[in-house]
Amino acid sequence: SLPFLDVVLTNNNGMLSTSVYHKPAAEPYVVPFISDHPRYAFVNVIQTSLTRALRNSSTFEIFNNERIYIKLTLLYNG
Residue-wise pLDDT for 13-27, tens only, equals: 999 999 999 888 877
Q: Give the model confidence (pLDDT) of 27-48 as tens digits.
A: 777 888 888 888 898 889 899 9
Alpha helices in 1-78 (DSSP H): 39-56, 60-76
Residue 22: burial class (beta carbons within 10 Å; 0-12, 13-18, 19+):
middle
Say if residue 59's pLDDT is above 80. yes
pTM: 0.82
Query: What SS3 class is residue 72?
Result: helix
- Residue 17's pLDDT is 95
- Quick one: pLDDT band at residue 78, thresholds 50, 70, 90? confident
